[in-house]
Amino acid sequence: MNETMEALLERRSTRHYTEEPVSEEALAQILEAGLWAPTARNRQEVKIAVARDPEWRARFRAAFSAADGRPNFANFDFGCPVFLFLYGEKDFPYIEMDSGIVVENMAIAAQSLGLGTVIIGCIRDFLRSEAGAHWRADIGMTEEDLFTVGLCIGHIERPTKKQERKEGRVRYL
């Protein structure tokens, strides 16, 4: 199997991170991989906000958890050292699809650098709600922007169990 296939098949969502910081160099490469993802109509509307500050992150986590009410989601970012918020022009019909492609490019880039990631969707409703307005502003989003997806990045403390894939999802016509 070639290296790319190996990365695609062996990537797992990491939910246990060490405290070791992610280097600026690694983060720059991961962001570069995201920025070079293909985008519909080459519009490149997806924007990425990098959140490292532990204090801001703790306040965000508390606000999300208070609004969401699901105690098991309070630790939605699993204490990862770097969290990325992806967002963009809400009226662009491909913003969610493009974000998905950008985020997966970054996940695979991180994997190639020996880092773990997990894509995060559970904060979506919060960041699109009235209660999320303050946080959208902090992130740098405007009224025209829609939060799409997040990404945890960090050093892997322990690997995640492989989730088997469902059979029969391909049809040959």
Q: Which stretch binds ligand FMN (CB under 6 A): 37-45, 49-57, 113-121, 129-137?
A: 113-121
Q: Do 70 and 119 touch, CB atoms closer than 8 A?
A: no
Interface with ligand FMN (CB under 6 A), residue from 2, 42, 72, 163: 163
Closer by beta carbon to ligand FMN, 63 or else 122: 122
- The helix/strand/coil state of 13 is strand
Of 10-18, 20-28, 60-68, 86-94, which part binds ligand FMN (CB under 6 A)? 10-18
Residue 148 C-beta: closest distance to ligand FMN, Å: 9
The phi, psi pair for 72, rounded to 5°, reads: -75, -10
Element housing 142 (H / E): none
**Residue 15 CB, nearest approach to ligand FMN (Å):** 6
Shortest distance (Å) from residue 14 CB to ligand FMN: 8
Residue-wise DSSP of 18-52? -SPPPPHHHHHHHHHHHHTS--GGG----EEEEE-
User: Which of 21, 54, 93, 121 touches ligand FMN by CB under 6 A?
Assistant: 121
Which strands make up the sheet holding 82-89, listed edge to edge?
A: 47-51, 82-89, 145-154, 116-120
Work out whether 29 is an interface residue with ligand FMN (CB under 6 A).
Answer: no
Burial of residue 166, with CB atoms counted within 10 A of its CB: 0-12 exposed, 13-18 middle, 19 or more buried? exposed
Instruction: Please tell me whether residue 146 binds ligand FMN under the rule CB under 6 A.
Output: no
118 near ligand FMN, rule: CB under 6 A: yes
151 binds ligand FMN, rule: CB under 6 A: no
How is residue 43 written in tokens? 């519009």
Per rule CB under 6 A, is residue 44 in the interface with ligand FMN?
no
Nearer to ligand FMN, 38 or 142 (CB): 38
Q: With H, G, I as helix, E, B as strand and everything else as coil, classify residue 87.
A: strand
Q: What is the contact surface with ligand FMN in residues (CB under 6 A)?
A: 12-13, 15, 118-122, 149, 160, 163
